[in-house]
Amino acid sequence: MNYSHFPAIAVMGLFLGAFLVEIFGSKSKIVRNIIVFVFTTCAAALMLYLVKPVMLDGEIISYWMGNWEPVDGYAIGIGYEIDQLSMFFAILVVLTIWLSAVYSFRYMERDRHLGHYYTLFLMLSGAVLGLVCTGDVFNLFVMVEIMTFAAVALTAFRNKKGSNLEAAFKYLIVGSVGSGFTLTGITLLYMQCHTLNMAQLSSMLSGNLTPVTVLALALMFTGFGVKSFIVPFHAPAADAYMSAPTSVSMVFSGMVNKAGVYGMIRLVYIIFRAMDIEAIQILLVLLGVITMFIGVTMALAQHDLKRLLAFHSISQIGYVITAIGLCTALGVTGGLFHALNHTLFKGLLFLCAGAVLYAAGTTDLDRLGGLSKKMPKTCICFLIGAFSISGLPPFNGFASKWMIYQATYEKAVTTGNLFYAFATVTAVVVSVMTLASFIKVTQAVFFGQCPAQLQQTREVPFSMRLPMWIMALLCVASGVLYGDLYRFILAPASNAALNVTGYIDAMLGSGTAASAGIADIEVAKVSFSYWNPTAWLILFAIILIAVCWVVVFGEKTRGAVLQSESSQDVDGKYATFFSGEKSMHSHVGGSDLFWGFKKNFSGYFRVMQGIHSGNVNDYALMAVAAAAIFIVFMFVVLL
Amino acid sequence: MIPFLKVALTNLFSKPSTVKYPYVPVEAKPRYRGRIAYDGDKCVNCGMCVKVCSPGAINRIYKDTEDGQDITYEFDHTSCTFCGMCQDFCDEGAITLTTDYHMVATDPEDLIVRGVCHKVNPKGNISCNTDLCVYCTLCAKKCPSGAITVDRAAKTWTVNIGKCTKCGACIKTCPKKAVYFAEPKPQVVVCGDDCVYCTLCAKKCPEEAITVDRAAKTWSFDASKCVQCGKCVAACPKKTLSFADGE
Amino acid sequence: MINVLATIKIIVKTLIFPGAFFAMAAGLLLAGIDRKVLARMQKRIGPPVMQPTYDFFKLMGKETIVPHAANRRVYMAAPVVGFVSLAVMMLFIPIGGWCAFTGDADLIVILYLLTIPAVALIVGGSASGSPFAGIGISREMVTMMSYELPLIIVFLAVAKKVGGDQLFFGFRAITNWQIANGPMIAQLAMIPAALAMLLIIPAEVGTQPFDVAEAETEICEGPLIEYSGAPLGLFKLNTAVKMLVMTSLFTALFLGGITSGIHTGITLWGIAIVDHILRALIHVAISAVITVVSMTTIHAATARLKIEHLFKFYWTAVTGLALISLILVWIGF
Amino acid sequence: MFKKIIAASTAKSPWIYHINTGSCNGCDIELVAVLTPRYDAERFGFKLAGTPRHADIVVVSGPITSQSKDRLIRTLEQVPEPKVVVSIGSCPKSGNVFKGSYSVEAPLDKYCKVDVSIAGCTPKPEAIIEGLYKAAQILKEKREAMNK
Amino acid sequence: MILNYITSVILIVLGLYTVCTKRNLIKIVLGLGITDYGINLLIVSIGYNNGGTAPIYSSDLFNLNASAAAFVDPVPQALTLTSIVIGACVDAMALALVIMLNRRYKTTDANEIRRLKG
């Protein structure tokens, strides 16, 4: 079974699906859903089939479009190359697409023009899958462009609300500025090396960094920074996540910013191999730390659920960038693992937000409350998501954050540079603030008292809950079984990122890497002797049983556990204690929590309000200024 | 914070100032107004304490006995405000608020202090020895029920037997000791002159102390049998019968 | 065939010795000592040392009212999860140099296990649906945010001090290091860190000056307002066990080598029972001393702080102390 | 055995919740004075609780003004079972000097069964301790009654 | 050749300037277009090689190596085509969005369209 065709088929399949939906889908719902489901499932099947050969056997698939083999060492055609790193991201992409498609069948049923929606959706997924699989820089750029278009169109999908259009416009402008930088970078690379194939580029560029290539690196660094929404470019992202329909914002936070991160890794690790230079590592870690901190503090001050989740996505991407910036084996593994976990729990949280929007009609934290009794299953899913994002032990956030702390502090200790210790401290504090903002959301949305107009909200239909349960299960599973997750998926991916010879040899025939003088770095095996949670969970279970036995055993001797099922005698024994008053509706909403914290940081928050001014020009100015800073930085450092 | 730390540490090593109450009996201060003690014998049932008790914690239950009344005074501590007014206004000193503060009860009954004041109705009525009396009107003011009227100008002293509760307040206040309980002369029924000898009084008298002979128009009275029930006086259509002092 | 003795040992370790039972008993004892010494500092006799135990059993006997607005499952599950994580934490912390389960990076596990009881209290409070609880959990969260920063800096300082140029987060390494060159507190560089840790303990446990989250006067017991009966008993037990955990964490980090020197050599079924008992007793005694020093004296001497003063105090004063020791260690003291 | 421990400890750690239904605050400060170093009710485990949900002994003071009547009833209902109601001072039992006023709905017995009443217009702290101690014993009996 | 590079840099910088400072949305879109054309110019001018002819094999297909050196590099031209297409799409979508925004906000001034902030 010659599986080297599979990536190309998967990508083209998705694009084909997009056009078919446009043609046949606009009339009947069933046809449309079937087409979407079939194409997403077969793309998923194709890519998952590849997991075994690529990940386990360590084989790197290379596929030349139109069979244009490289002629005596020079790559001419567009090459598709799937190594472990792109396979890792491909799994992420495929998983998110499938779940979002299943979720959107019922979630989007109230909107019109669903034909267009699914076209754009399939275009987006095809583009990101193409982006992940391609081995050619310009193809990477084109896929990024298609992704940005589809994303902008989807953000503006519900164009009744003016704010959606505004968000789409800002995203388009800043996105295009970023893409412009990337394209300039690529042309400069081509000017220097007369090739567009990444493997060849990396073999030619290793070592001899001329001013042109340094400028190209800086520009492409900005371009991919824009795409992965790190700090200077994160403002339009927050608007875009908020205004897109939730099944799309889940795809955004699960896939689109991961595509930016993938581009960043490819650029810095593979093409330019610039990561060995200390300054670039510090730059990346600094960007990551700032993104983390700004993302979380802004999230704490939000009044809208989806905007809060958007800022959290930005802050979690900060974690991933910090981890990747460390350039140590544990660092990259931690970063990739956190990217996977982020897709899972952030997807889950967005789906729950969508469920709340679907059932209660609004995501404004001040007008929601007490939904846990009306929507118990969504509440449980949300709690799992919230606990895993804030890194509580049995869930997956804990495992990846733990790796990141250990990696950053190990880096600090080995290099003796106090900056990385500062990064660890910020990471821990940001994780606590994430927990704080999710406590705020759970209190504002699920617990507390239910306002009058939300009394008859009902649970969301099953087809929306199914992806939620799948994601929740994956969250817990990857949290507990991360030992073998590391062995099968993470280790190969981080090895592929760190040493490049395999990548180059696969594309241009063996031996080219050796000739170009790139030695194969022996990646240190990650010391995994720390506590694996499965044993820890057994302890948790034993004590849990013991305590429950004591509580249950005491049942006879204790007073009965009473809760009035009937709702009419609410005002008696079971009413909330209002110091004697009749228990009226007084819900502690999201906005009046953490008063102490906000008062101390009021100066900081005023500055933040200034930065997120909502004006397109400011965002574009920030992007260009950041580009200028990066260019100057790269020149100073690398030459 | 430092000074408080110093105080805290010095306290740690010094003896606690707690009075171990249940094990060490604690006496209230001498003038503490605690549980009410009522001495039935001293009480003359003048009713001043009831009148002066603001929360109305004192009430009286009358029970007639053969020679007077048994009045049980109930001091309800659950509604008493322990102001001590009753103690001040009780001239007899029958009510004293002791220093017993252990007024804790599960059922309200044992928070009520009861005392019985046996009030023997004095045989006679109040009367005044006019030669001692200087008509200072003190007794009139003192009388709780206002039974005595004294006219200083006309130097007259009269008592309204109906209102008098025989409390003896006037006797006590009279500076000259002019007021006294007149010795009750055995009451004798006297028949007036417009008697028509209808023998009604004879029939009414439970003790047959009166014998009437219509024919001989004679009316006779036997003092030894008479119990001064007053039925004959009430029954006489002509209202000629009345009590009078015997010898 | 699973080694039967090993599983029994695990079950005994989990449930009896350093696990649930020991934690409960020692925790309640510490809470009793804390209340007694506090009373004595206020020149009054104070409750018997067994008072928290009586409170706990009385609460187990009370009727549990689940309010109408509460989410029943989360409401009942929160205290149990809190207690379970505290008991598990006790397994990691070395008692007298010996810890039941140890891995390489225990400090980070402890850091995260410390958040679970606080989160359990918060989620429990918010599940009870009362507005007072809403305010209570926001204060509890801000308290948690305030003491988390100095805590991680203290841990990093200790790890750097022990590790030198490698990285040792595990307690075995820390204890061995302390046995080798004296308790950590004796090191000059680590004294500010020890002081910072002493200040963190009352905030983590939530005693007087830092108990604004459960202020009886303002927001009637904060998150615990709607709890009654067994769940409330478990929450009070959680606070008591938290005292034990934090103080034994302090002994493990800063007074490591002291208790591990005791060897009586009397073994029973291959386990040096007598050693363990002796070490456990001394460990609890030291914990009691630290409780008195860190929690009771401050409780007796200060009044309750407002929430933003608490936050500012922790993020400036205590973090400064911790940073001093981190930098000193970094320079190589 | 478990039952015995619970019954014993119910008597040893009674928590007090104080309801002031319009009292002149004489009894309120006296009740709190009981917790000061001189009288120290904490020796017997008494502790002021913030909410009725934590309460065992409910101490009511004041002549139950009409404003506070339904609040009193609602709060008394919210106290979990083995509970004891103690009236402190004479106001709750009879309305004291305010008896007969338009806004006083005095005897507490109308609303609930008063287990222990401590008389005295501001009873002495020792009397309060004695009353609370008796209330704790009643609590124990109620607890044992619940076991049957 | 240097002239091409200078003009393309000027065009890019000019475009970025308009995007960053002009408040009218349409001007912003125009600025975007200008940057795009600057980049396209850069891409095309890279492929230029002095005296080269169009990269098409004429009749004498066989003496391959004779004419190979004289060809202009075809790859940047292909890139330029794609880039122009992308530039066109970006402009089309941006203008469509501007029209919709104008209908909703009744203005094209970037400062008024600031509902999503903070």
Tens digit of each residue's pLDDT (9 = 90 or more) over A406-417: 888 888 888 888
- pLDDT top residue among C9 and C47: C47
CA distance A634 to C122: 47
CB-based contact A55:A84 (threshold 8 Å): yes
**Sheet strands (E) in B152-209:** 156-159, 179-181, 187-191
The number of residues in chain E equals 118
DSSP state string for A276-294:
GSHHHHHHHHHHHHHHHHH
Helices (H), A554-601: 595-600
End-to-end CA distance of chain B: 95
- Are chains A and E in touch, 3+ Cβ pairs below 8 Å? yes
CA distance A389 to A438: 9
Residue A322 is predicted with a pLDDT of 93
| Residue C74, domain extent | 4-331
- Test D146 with A571 for CB contact under 8 angstroms: no
Residue A372 is predicted with a pLDDT of 85
pLDDT band at C18 (very low <50, low <70, confident <90, very high): confident
DSSP state string for C126-180:
HHTT-HHHHHHHHHHHHHHHHHHHHHHHHHHHHHHHHHTTS---SHHHHHHHHHH
CA distance C29 to B16: 22
**Best interface-test mutation with C: which of A297, A425, A446, A587 has the largest number of C CBs within 10 A?**
A425
Could you identify the residue written with the tokens 């081509």? A190
- Test A624 with E35 for CB contact under 8 angstroms: no
- Test B16 with D37 for CB contact under 8 angstroms: yes
**Closest Cα partner for C111 from C161, C152, C146?**
C152
**Closest Cα partner for A537 from C152, C10, C235?**
C10
CB-based contact A221:A267 (threshold 8 Å): yes
| Burial degree of B127 (CB within 10 A; 0-12, 13-18, 19+) | middle
In chain C, the number of structural domains is: 1
Tell me, what amino acid is at D12? K
Give the tens place of pLDDT for each residue, C146-196: 999 999 999 988 888 887 767 677 787 888 888 888 788 888 888 999 999
Residue A97 is predicted with a pLDDT of 93
Q: Of A557, A571, A572, which is closest to D3 when you measure between CB atoms? A: A557
- Test D78 with A575 for CB contact under 8 angstroms: yes
Strand partners, B191: B241
Q: Does A364 touch chain E (CB under 8 A)?
A: no
CA distance A479 to A485: 9
- Test D78 with A579 for CB contact under 8 angstroms: no
CA distance D71 to D76: 8
Could you identify the residue written with the tokens 């003004």? D65
Against chain A, the chains showing at least 3 CB pairs within 8 Å are: C, D, E
Q: Of C14, C67, C119, which is closest to A576 when you measure between CB atoms? A: C67
Residue A36 is predicted with a pLDDT of 92
Q: Is the pLDDT of residue A626 over 90?
A: yes
Give the tens place of pLDDT for each residue, A149-191: 999 999 998 878 788 899 999 999 999 999 999 999 999 988 8
CA distance A359 to A371: 10
CA distance A116 to A261: 28
Give the residue-averaged pLDDT of A447-474.
Answer: 86
Give the tens place of pLDDT for each residue, A193-244: 888 888 888 888 877 778 888 899 999 999 999 999 988 889 899 889 988 9
Residue A270 is predicted with a pLDDT of 82
Q: What is the β-pairing status of strands B126-128 and B179-181?
A: antiparallel
How big is the CA angle at C266 (ends C265 and C267), to the nearest 5 degrees? 105
Kindly list the residues from chain A whose CB atom is less than 8 angstroms away from the CB atom of residue C128. 447, 576
Q: Does B104 touch chain D (CB under 8 A)?
A: yes
Nearest CA in chain C to D80: C63
Against chain C, the chains showing at least 3 CB pairs within 8 Å are: A, B, D
- Test B111 with D117 for CB contact under 8 angstroms: yes
- Chain B neighbours among C 39-58 (CB < 8 Å)? 39-46
Give the residue-averaged pLDDT of A298-307.
Answer: 89
Give the residue-averaged pLDDT of C105-116.
Answer: 82
Give the CA distances from residue A552 to residues A556, C41, C66, in Å, rounded to whole numbers and listed in that order: 8, 40, 17
Q: Å from E4 to nearest chain A CA?
A: 14
The b-or-e profile of E65-84 (16+ CB within 10 A means b, else e) is eebeeeebeebbeebbebbe
Q: Is the pLDDT of residue A602 over 60?
A: yes
Give the count of Cβ contacts less than 8 A between chain A and E: 124
- Are chains C and B in touch, 3+ Cβ pairs below 8 Å? yes
Q: Of C62, C226, C227, which is closest to D81 when you measure between CB atoms? A: C62
Q: Is the pLDDT of residue A530 over 50?
A: no
- pLDDT top residue among E32 and B136: E32
DSSP tag of C226: G
Structure token digits, residue A297? 């503090």
Q: Å from E3 to nearest chain A CA?
A: 16
CA distance A396 to A334: 12
CA distance A432 to C142: 10
- Test A609 with E100 for CB contact under 8 angstroms: no
CB-based contact A365:A304 (threshold 8 Å): yes
Q: Of C45, C46, C297, which is closest to B8 when you measure between CB atoms? A: C297
Give the tens place of pLDDT for each residue, A98-127: 999 999 888 888 888 888 899 999 999 999
Q: Is the pLDDT of residue A639 over 60?
A: yes
pLDDT band at E34 (very low <50, low <70, confident <90, very high): very high
Structure token digits, residue C66? 């689940």
- Test C39 with D10 for CB contact under 8 angstroms: no
**Closest Cα partner for A285 from A347, A244, A245, A328?**
A328
Q: Of D6, D53, D71, which is closest to A557 when you measure between CB atoms? A: D6
Kindly list the residues from chain B whose CB atom is less than 8 angstroms away from the CB atom of residue D85. none
Kindly list the residues from chain C whose CB atom is less than 8 angstroms away from the CB atom of residue D38. 44
Q: Residue D52's domain is classified under what CATH number?
A: 3.40.50.12280
Give the count of Cβ contacts less than 8 A between chain A and D: 34
pLDDT band at D77 (very low <50, low <70, confident <90, very high): confident
Kindly list the residues from chain C whose CB atom is less than 8 angstroms away from the CB atom of residue D75. none
Fold of E2-50+72-105: Helix Hairpins (1.10.287)
- pLDDT top residue among A580 and B175: B175
Give the count of Cβ contacts less than 8 A between chain C and D: 89
Indicate the helix (H) or strand (E) that contains B243: strand B241-245
Indicate the helix (H) or strand (E) that contains B58: strand B58-65
CB-based contact C149:A433 (threshold 8 Å): no
Residue E108 is predicted with a pLDDT of 82
Give the residue-averaged pLDDT of D31-59.
Answer: 90
Q: Is the pLDDT of residue E63 over 60?
A: no
Helices (H), A416-526: 418-441, 462-480, 482-485, 491-498, 501-508, 512-515
- Chain C neighbours among B 16-75 (CB < 8 Å)? 16-18, 20
Residue C269 is predicted with a pLDDT of 64
pLDDT band at A628 (very low <50, low <70, confident <90, very high): very high
Whole-structure pTM value: 0.85
Give the residue-averaged pLDDT of D61-67.
Answer: 90
Q: Å from D4 to nearest chain B CA?
A: 25
Ranges of chain B whose pLDDT falls below 50: none
- Chain E neighbours among A 66-105 (CB < 8 Å)? none
Q: Å from A572 to nearest chain D CA?
A: 6
CB-based contact A378:A354 (threshold 8 Å): no
Residues 6+ away with beta carbon under 8 Å from B25? none
Q: Of E94, E105, E118, which is closest to A609 when you measure between CB atoms? A: E118
- pLDDT top residue among C301 and A551: C301
Share of chain C above pLDDT 70, in %: 92
End-to-end CA distance of chain C: 51
| Residue D131, domain extent | 2-143
Kindly list the residues from chain A whose CB atom is less than 8 angstroms away from the CB atom of residue D75. 577, 579-580
**Closest Cα partner for D59 from D144, D141, D145, D139?**
D139
- Test B8 with C37 for CB contact under 8 angstroms: no
CA distance D127 to A129: 82
Q: Is the pLDDT of residue A531 over 60?
A: no
Per the prediction, chain C carries an average pLDDT of: 84
In chain D, the number of structural domains is: 1
Against chain D, the chains showing at least 3 CB pairs within 8 Å are: A, B, C
Residue A529 is predicted with a pLDDT of 44
How many Cα atoms sit within 13 Å of B246 on the Cβ side? 13
Kindly list the residues from chain B whose CB atom is less than 8 angstroms away from the CB atom of residue D119. 77-78, 80, 103-105, 111
Residue A351 is predicted with a pLDDT of 92
Nearest CA in chain A to C85: A540
Kindly list the residues from chain A whose CB atom is less than 8 angstroms away from the CB atom of residue E77. none
Q: Of D53, D74, D147, which is closest to A580 when you measure between CB atoms? A: D74
Top mean-pLDDT range of A459-468, C186-195, E32-41? E32-41
Residue B51 is predicted with a pLDDT of 86
Could you identify the residue written with the tokens 């170009």? A516
Q: Of B8, B18, B20, which is closest to C300 when you measure between CB atoms? A: B8
Global ipTM? 0.82
pLDDT band at E60 (very low <50, low <70, confident <90, very high): low
Residue C150 is predicted with a pLDDT of 93
pLDDT band at A525 (very low <50, low <70, confident <90, very high): low
Lowest mean pLDDT segment, chosen from B160-169, C30-39, C143-152, E104-113: B160-169
Kindly list the residues from chain D whose CB atom is less than 8 angstroms away from the CB atom of residue B105. 116-117, 119
Q: Does A615 touch chain E (CB under 8 A)?
A: yes
Per the prediction, chain A carries an average pLDDT of: 85
pLDDT band at E61 (very low <50, low <70, confident <90, very high): low
Q: Distance of alpha carbon B24 from its chain centroid, rounded? A: 42
Give the CA distances from residue C125 to residues A368, B126, C121, in Å, rounded to whole numbers and listed in that order: 18, 79, 6
Domains, in order of start, for chain B: 22-118 (3.30.70.3270), 126-181 (3.30.70.20), 187-245 (3.30.70.20)
Q: Of C43, C54, C232, which is closest to D54 when you measure between CB atoms? A: C232
- Are chains B and A in touch, 3+ Cβ pairs below 8 Å? no
Q: Å from D126 to nearest chain B CA?
A: 7
CA dihedral angle for residue E17, residue E23, residue E27, residue E33, rounded to 10 degrees: 50
- pLDDT top residue among C17 and A344: A344
